[in-house]
Structures are given as structure tokens and as C-alpha cells.
A = this chain, B = another copy of it.
Amino acid sequence: MVTRSRTRVTRMPSRASYERQAVDAILDEAIVSHVGTVGEGGCPVVIPTLHARADEWLYIHGSAASPTLRRAAQAEICLTATILDGLVLARSAVHHSVNYRSVVVFGRPEPVESFNEKRQALQAFTEKLVPGRWANVRPPTAQELRGTAVLRLPLAEASAKVRTGGPLDDEEDYARPVWAGTVGLQLTAEAPKPDDRLLPGVECPSYLTSSHAPGLKSPPR
């Protein structure tokens, strides 16, 4: 993977990784990411979005009328995805932290024009939210594909940054009788809630009742 200077992690470089495997795993688990573009007057604009990866491409999508997608299709963007893994409680105030895994991708997205690739991207988005879902739902029509803007960003300039483990206190603070440690955080899925207008007799599919999406922990039964 190319590591141009802007991709090089400056703060806490020991927490950084430029390996595709580390980058891919975080992007595949994170559901939401944040896309930065430069808006009017040169000011940054950061908007939450969904993303889906297929090999060395990262897809984002939205309405063809979205200002962020229009700007993103014409310039360099920065897409950042962060998974929060826990709170880190130290013996001193300043050493409190969080455990996390994040990826920063820089690049110039290309608009996806072919219906075939757009359909594949929408399949990747749907399957990412719930594996097994795509085969179950009405596929997009030509008109829906026209109304959906899909951009693809090469994963050529990407870095991962990860913090794990317990607090790192100053040596003299370890003698303090203060509780220190971590509190793990997990994104947990609740039981599926059927839509009010569900047809009678339609059962909740097995891909939803078993543990499903990556990174999601099903509630204990």
C-alpha cells in the first residue's frame, strides 16, 4: 500500500498500520463512516455515511442530489471509519483514554456509471448490513439505479490506527489505591422488530435470528 505523507500517522505512530488486511477488517466491521469534503469558502464539511468494500474499492452512495456526493465526485476526499471498543480508566485524569480501531482513507472518488457495477455496489451495501438479505428483497429498477449516485474510492492511500489494552499510568501513580482498568463496549443487536405493515404469516428470516452482521453481538437469549 502506498503511504504518501498525508497517510503517515503522525501522533502515536506505534498504533499505526498500513497493512491492507488491518484496513479491510476495520472497514468491513464499521457500519458508519465520516466523509470529509471541502465546501463553500474552503471550509471542511464532514457527513456520516455508509460504506461497503469490494476488493480494493470502497463504495459510498446516496441520492444523486446529495451535495456531499456531488462535491466528492470532483475532488479529493477523506473517509474515516472508527469503531469504539472501550473506555480506558487510568489512575490520573490525563491518562484516561478509549480503545478504538480507525481507518483513514484519502483519495479521489470516481462516479460509477455502469448499471452493473452500481447493482453490485448496492448488493455489497445490503449484504454488509445483513448478510443473506439481498436474495430476499426486490432488486433495484433501472430508474432507481439512475437516481442513486455511487462513488468508488481506491483503497490505495489508507492507514489504520488501533489502541488496545489497559491504562498506561505514570510509574509513581501505580502506588495509588485507585481502581483502574477498562470497560469494553460492544455494538449489540436487539431482537428484530417487524414493520407494522408486514403481511400476515411472513416469518423473521433465519439470517436475522442467528448472529449476523460482522461486529454485531446478538443479545443473550
Which A residues form the contact surface with B (CB < 8 A)?
Answer: 5-6, 10-11, 31-32, 34-48, 50, 62-63, 65-67, 76-80, 82, 84, 86-87, 89-94, 96, 98, 100, 102, 104, 106, 122-123, 125-126, 129-130, 133-134, 136-140, 144, 148, 166-167, 173-190, 192-199, 201-205, 208, 213, 216-217, 219-220
User: When chains A and B are docked, how far (Å) is the Cα of A213 from the Cα of B31?
Assistant: 22
26 A-B contacts (beta carbon < 8 Å):
A5-B40, A10-B67, A36-B44, A43-B76, A43-B106, A44-B76, A45-B104, A46-B80, A87-B129, A89-B130, A89-B208, A92-B139, A92-B144, A93-B126, A94-B148, A98-B129, A174-B197, A177-B199, A179-B192, A179-B202, A179-B208, A180-B198, A182-B193, A183-B192, A185-B190, A185-B216
- Contact partner, A48, options B86, B100, B198, Cβ 8 Å: B100
A93 surroundings in chain B (CB, below 8 A): 122-123, 126, 134, 137-140
Please tell me if the beta carbons of A47 and B137 are within 8 angstroms of each other in the complex. no
A68 to chain B, nearest CB (A): 8
- Contact partner, A188, options B45, B180, B188, B195, Cβ 8 Å: B188
- For the residues of A in contact with B, the DSSP-based class is mixed
Please tell me if the beta carbons of A129 and B185 are within 8 angstroms of each other in the complex. no
Return the chain B residue nearest A136 by Cβ: B178
User: When chains A and B are docked, how far (Å) is the Cα of A138 from the Cα of B126?
Assistant: 48
A105 to chain B, nearest CB (A): 10
Please tell me if the beta carbons of B35 and A46 are within 8 angstroms of each other in the complex. yes
Please tell me if the beta carbons of B137 and A92 are within 8 angstroms of each other in the complex. yes
Please tell me if the beta carbons of B80 and A48 are within 8 angstroms of each other in the complex. yes
Please tell me if the beta carbons of B94 and A11 are within 8 angstroms of each other in the complex. no
- Contact partner, A11, options B63, B98, B106, B138, Cβ 8 Å: B63
Please tell me if the beta carbons of A46 and B187 are within 8 angstroms of each other in the complex. no
User: When chains A and B are docked, how far (Å) is the Cα of A57 from the Cα of B53?
Assistant: 37
- Contact partner, A167, options B65, B140, B195, Cβ 8 Å: B195
